Amino acid sequence: MLDQADFIARYDKHDALGVVANQPQQLRQKYELGDMRAFQDVGQVVVAGMGGSALAAEFVKNWIGNKLPVAMIIMRDYTLPTFVGAGTLVVVSSYSGNTEETLSALKYAEERGAKIVVMASGGKLLEAAKAKSLPYLELPGGLQPRMAVLYGVKALAELFEAVGFLSGLANELEAAGEWVADEVKGWAADVSTDQNQAKQVAKQLVGHPVVIYGGPMLRLPAMKWKIDANENAKNLAFYNYFPEFNHNEFLGWGNPSHSGIKVVELRSHLDLPHIQKRFDVTNKLCVGKFEPIEIFAEGKTKLEQMLWMLILGDFVMVYLAFLNGIDPTPVDLIEELKAELDK
């Protein structure tokens, strides 16, 4: 069915396939921040955001968190930690600009005298930034937040360069984006299932809850696969990562003995040998409990592998949405929840 244009057209009413295929182009986006020298003297960075609006920060932390000269913390809440103050850079991130938790976090950041940068495509958050003369990163609008993650990644990279944390980030992203743009062509709808890895994986997942496991190199893509399964395919999914998995969840595979859960393992040759051995030994010890779908990342660098695996997951879960008989783009239940909370 995934090779039939009329079948795909029946469900892809908002061109989700086109959006995910064009994600590498998001890394070409340029942002204007102005003079950020006053933001250089900070001891930590806090990114406040929810859902897809926090994913860009998760990506950057997975990518370069160990290279940053300051600690980077991601908060998914209405409040901020008590240490936030004049020495903290707070990035307030909401793609829509109207996320209530993030608007609340902005108030906390203001009350604490933090150095604030806003990241949004519009809404109340961007209006507040302009009214209060706060530096802001204005993201292109019109997408679902989970499909605009790379806009946010590029924006944060430019911010971190502007405040002097690291250099060369934007150029590295643009180069990796050019490379992955060629790779994603093999997952397009006009590539038949027998040659299309994304379609093949989607067919294996349909009708099952899904668990995605990654190692340190691909922890963020594993999280994004889980989110895409939930939001695109409206499919139950979870994720975890090695080596933490082996200290708790590993034992949980004892019961129930026939859960019907499909396991996807996102693997990187850049992970430490000890991590790669954990995958192999785990799979050996779990024979009869699960049979993993192992996916080995393409790319020479950590960034290339992260982008490759992230976008592959986007394609997989869009195809899974079609097999589930739904349009992957709308998130009606979330909109209903927001409406109920506003009453």
Indicate the pTM of the whole model.
0.96
Residue 43, in any domain of the structure: yes
- Say if residue 168 is in the same domain as residue 119: yes
Q: Residue 34: its pLDDT value, please?
A: 83
- Say if residue 119 is in the same domain as residue 244: no
- Say if residue 261 is in the same domain as residue 153: no
- Say if residue 107 is in the same domain as residue 145: yes
- Say if residue 159 is in the same domain as residue 285: no
Q: Residue 43: its pLDDT value, please?
A: 93
In whole angstroms, what is the distance from residue 228 CA to residue 317 CA? 6
Residue 338, in any domain of the structure: no
- Give the side-chain half-sphere CA count within 13 A for 342: 9
Q: Residue 40: its pLDDT value, please?
A: 83
Give the residues of the chain that fall short of pLDDT 70.
none
> For the chain, what is the domain count?
2
**Which of 177, 198, 217 is the endpoint of a domain?**
177
Domain extent, residue 211, equals 5-13+186-323
Q: Residue 126: its pLDDT value, please?
A: 97
- Say if residue 22 is in the same domain as residue 168: yes
- Say if residue 265 is in the same domain as residue 195: yes
Among 59, 126, 244, residue whose Cα is nearest residue 106: 126
Q: Residue 257: its pLDDT value, please?
A: 85
Residue 330, in any domain of the structure: no
Enzyme catalytic residues: 231, 247, 338
Residue 343, in any domain of the structure: no
Rounded to 10 deg, the angle between the 302-323 and 219-231 helix axes is 20
pLDDT digits (tens, 9 = 90+) for 329-343: 999 999 899 889 888
Q: Residue 258: its pLDDT value, please?
A: 86
- Say if residue 143 is in the same domain as residue 283: no
CATH number at residue 131: 3.40.50.10490
- Say if residue 199 is in the same domain as residue 85: no
